[in-house]
Each structure stands twice: as structure tokens, then as C-alpha cells.
Amino acid sequence: MDRPMVAAVAMMVTMMMTSMLRPLFLVTLFHAFFTTNMMFP
């Protein structure tokens, strides 16, 4: 079992997960922001 290979794969998976989750988090943040603005003008 090659250690550097495992580390590289783990890094790639982490990067993919982060790039996938960040837009979702931003959308949730904006949605909450807009709903708050609409509820309390």
C-alpha cells in the first residue's frame, strides 16, 4: 500500500466534497438571508 498515493486520493476526495458543499452552503445562506428580509421589512 503506497502512502503518498492514499494521501493524494484523500486530498482529492476532500477537495471534491468541499467544492460540492460550498455552493450548497452559500445557497442556504442566501435563502435564509432573503427570507429574513421578506419577513421583517
Q: What one-character-per-residue DSSP string does 1-41 give?
A: --HHHHHHHHHHHHHHHHHHHHHHHHHHHHHHHHHHHHH--
Length reported for the chain: 41
Cα within 13 Å of Cα(12), Cβ side: 6
**pLDDT digit string (tens) for 11-41?**
999 999 999 899 999 999 999 999 888 877 6
pTM over 0.95: no
